[in-house]
Amino acid sequence: MNRYFLGGMTSEGFKTDFNETIYSEDKFTYILKGGPGTGKSTIMKKVVETFSDTDDIDLYYCSSDEKSLDAVVLNKKGIIVVDGTSPHTFDPIYPGIKQTIIHLGDFWNADALKKNEEDIILTTKENSEWHKRCRRYITALSSINSDIYSIGLSALNKNKLSGFIERFVKKNIPDKKSTTGKVSFKKYSVMTQNGYISQEISYKNKFFLCDGLFAGSDFMLRKLEKCISDRGYDIIVSKCELCNNVLYEHIAIPELDIALISSTPLNKTEPNATKINFSRFYFHNKISEKKERLNFSKKALSNMADEAAECMKKAKEIHDELEKFYVSAIDFEKINKLTDKLIKEIKKR
């Protein structure tokens, strides 16, 4: 199973590329609507258990709780089940034809929730405040990353790196000479309560782009996107949006079983396969001129990332308290019956 994040927090709020998956006309999507603790992730886990042996499944996890599912894609069936509540709000554009809504709020006891009205409102507001604080740290973090990137870009030896990219393509990407490949955007890495982390990218041939300045790896991955798709291969691109300008962070080529994974000051990925050291693609004299500024920025980056993660941890703790109100008010027997009905309906498709 392929694992991704549905999206993540940025300086502009929560962002996701999952819309392109939901609104593709070759899929049918069940959009789950309901409050916290109403069983959305549990429903998706049961769908995965049912079809894990017969389908090719993509799992999309929540950046606020890495163990919680936000979406499941059954690729052979052409079925999606997704959490459509805030911050990743999804609504049908072809209702009943390509998407349908499942209202889990139909199965809670409104009177029981009403008894806890004041506590629910206060807890929801407190959760929101921690997310706002997290966003402020991420805004600062993005500016720091952008400064590091700008230094790297000004010192990048593009001619030398372009020559390396050309040789890399000739050696690793055979030319199919068929149709142009499809480029899809999915999220491998996001900020979480445990820091900026990545899902395991399980490909046989992995190349680690060890780049302390962001710019070289971004340049290479953007060049490769076009080269690879022009040669007829579908490609998955994972963007880093914790920079004032969006960066390409990882790419994967499923047909060739190849992944290129950036190792940067932000994600701190530890290379355990073929390593490409990007220091050779920068003019060192230009880097030396900005050495003190870079050292300061990288330390500040680490501090801002730690603070953002701590805010997400606090928000998760409060969210867990909020879930308790809804768990105590939901009729899980009816949720289980709904899940069984949903699975039967998916089997018929």
pLDDT in tens, 67-88: 899 999 999 999 999 999 988 8
Q: What pLDDT sits at residue 163?
A: 97
pLDDT band at 133 (very low <50, low <70, confident <90, very high): very high
Copy the structure tokens of residue 138.
Answer: 């991420």
pLDDT band at 271 (very low <50, low <70, confident <90, very high): low
> How far is Cα 303 from Cα 305, in angstroms, rounded to an integer?
5
> How far is Cα 286 from Cα 292, in angstroms, rounded to an integer?
12
35-60 per-position pLDDT tens digit: 898 899 999 999 999 999 999 999 99
Beta bridge partners of 58: 2, 73
78-128 per-position pLDDT tens digit: 999 999 998 888 999 999 999 999 999 899 999 999 999 999 999 999 999
By the 8 A CB rule, do 214 and 223 touch?
no
How large a percentage of the chain has pLDDT more than 70? 99
pLDDT band at 267 (very low <50, low <70, confident <90, very high): confident
Cβ count within 10 A of residue 257: 12
By the 8 A CB rule, do 175 and 338 touch?
no
186-231 per-position pLDDT tens digit: 999 999 999 999 998 889 999 999 999 999 999 999 999 999 999 9
pTM over 0.75: yes
Q: What pLDDT sits at residue 349?
A: 81
Q: What pLDDT sits at residue 258?
A: 96
Inter-helix orientation angle 215-230/158-172, to 10°: 40
Q: What pLDDT sits at residue 291?
A: 93
In the DSSP assignment, the letter for residue 187 is B
**What is the rounded average pLDDT of the residues 290-298?**
94
The pLDDT mean for the chain works out to 93
